[in-house]
Amino acid sequence: MSLFHQIALSCLPGIGSVLARNLLSFFGNEEEVFNAKRKHLSKVPGIGPKTRELIINHKVFKFAEVELEFIEKYKIKPYFLTDLDYPKRLKNCADAPILLYFKGNADLNSNKIISVVGTRNATDYGKDICKNLMADLKVHNPLIVSGLAYGIDFAAHKEAHKLGIPSIGVLGHGLDRIYPAQHRAMAEKMLECGGLLTEFMSGTIPDRENFPKRNRIIAGLCDVTIVVEASIKGGALITAELANSYNRDVFAFPGRLNDEFSLGCNHLIKTNRANLITKSADIEYIMGWSSEVGKVQKPQLSLPINLTDDEKIISNVLTNHGSLAFDDLSYLTSFQQSKLVHILLGMEIQGVLISLPGKVYRLV
């Protein structure tokens, strides 16, 4: 497919992630969107007369040319929604960006991906939590994701780098700049062990409205979102809410009742929007990770011969991969999530597989 047209589609005015998906689904590929006639555009769900005219009379090709040159010059890796290596966890989110720009060496489909978020006004308490958390999680070889902002974000990236844990900084602007500028040195280190990721083209400045959009990538890219310190309002709680909406696990460290930057964490726990944790072992237990470290795989028992074709697909995938999270199963089997829930329930009732904490499944 044409990267030029993929970039052009991503910057069409009035077209967000959801409408872009509708256009791709209707026309088959991004190039055909730009060849479409008015009468055909009118049939696409969500495309009204105003949006249709914006597509017909677009002037985005000149922007696509500039961005294509930037990508080639600075060796940026683009991930389009239909690419096989597009982050599979994020692809399952209905509002996932249709195009991502990445610079670095991390695997965005790593086995365990954890986002760490929190206040920009991190206290010593929050920084110590980040330090201890990274040290304890290192055994799982995770990929850490945060926003390269002041406070908890920076502390998470810093501690991960010290331990050789790859981390991804998700940006609210283009890859031609770093914001805040004081974090440039850390960003450069992350390119050697991790990377920088954004949905925004070069030239995009860090406007305020970009950061809530950035937060949905942080939430959708990961298996787990951990809130270390947070006030009652702010980006960390937005990220936690998004993670919940994506059916991801959310954890929060509690704090003292009257501490401003613990109010958000305590609220998440109180309203059952996050699991209370005090140490990494809590995460390992809930996610079913503790039994995986140093575990010797037992030979699989022979499966019942009366499995349906769909059940056989799932059993074969689990045989090859061991335990898998729900999102990974959905990706590897290509089953819609609603269908997969039904099949997994039936297999669990039959005693073919078991459900572990953290929405993880494995064969009996």
Which segments of 118-229 are extended strands (E)?
Answer: 143-146, 167-170, 194-198, 224-227
Residue 302 has pLDDT above 60, yes or no: no
Instruction: Report domain extents, the chain.
Output: 1-73, 104-287, 309-363
Tell me what pLDDT residue 1 has.
60
Residue 54 has pLDDT above 80, yes or no: yes
Q: Decide whether 1-73 matches 104-287 in CATH topology.
A: no
Residue 305 has pLDDT above 80, yes or no: no
326-327-328-329 Cα dihedral, nearest 10 degrees: 50
Amino acid at 297: Q
Cα separation values, 208 from 37, 214, 357, Å: 36, 11, 37
Tokens matching residue 287: 């996610």
Q: Does domain 309-363 have CATH number 3.40.50.300?
A: no
Q: What is the pLDDT of the chain when averaged over all its residues?
A: 91
Q: Which of 208, 2, 168, 182 is nearest to 99 (CA)?
A: 2
Residue 349 has pLDDT above 60, yes or no: yes
Rounded CA-CA distance 269/288 in Å is: 20
List, for residues 151-202, the tens digit of each pLDDT value. 999 999 999 999 999 999 999 999 999 999 999 999 999 999 999 999 999 9
Which segments of the chain are extended strands (E)?
Answer: 77-80, 99-104, 113-117, 143-146, 167-170, 194-198, 224-227, 249-252, 275-276, 324-325, 353-356, 360-363
List, for residues 191-203, the tens digit of each pLDDT value. 999 999 999 999 9
Residue 357 has pLDDT above 90, yes or no: no
Alpha helices in 163-302 (DSSP H): 184-192, 210-220, 235-245, 263-270, 280-287
Tell me what pLDDT residue 300 has.
46
Q: Does domain 104-287 have CATH number 3.20.10.10?
A: no
Rounded CA-CA distance 81/87 in Å is: 9
Radius of gyration of the chain (CA): 22
**Residues paired with 181 in a beta bridge:** none
Rounded CA-CA distance 14/54 in Å is: 7
Residue 253 has pLDDT above 60, yes or no: yes
Residue 295 has pLDDT above 80, yes or no: no
Report the run of H or E that residue 134 belongs to, with start and end.
Answer: helix 124-137
Least trusted range by pLDDT, from 146-150, 303-307, 334-338: 303-307
List, for residues 191-244, the tens digit of each pLDDT value. 999 999 999 999 999 999 999 999 999 999 999 999 999 999 889 999 999 999
Contact 353, 364 (CB under 8 A): yes
End-to-end CA distance of the chain: 42
Tell me what pLDDT residue 298 has.
45
Q: Which fold has domain 1-73?
A: DNA polymerase; domain 1 (1.10.150)
Tell me what pLDDT residue 356 has.
77
DSSP annotation string for 32-70: HHHH--HHHHTTSTT--HHHHHHHHT---HHHHHHHHHH
Could you tell me how far CA 63 lies from the centroid of its own chain?
27
Look up the pTM and report it.
0.81
Residue 291 has pLDDT above 60, yes or no: no
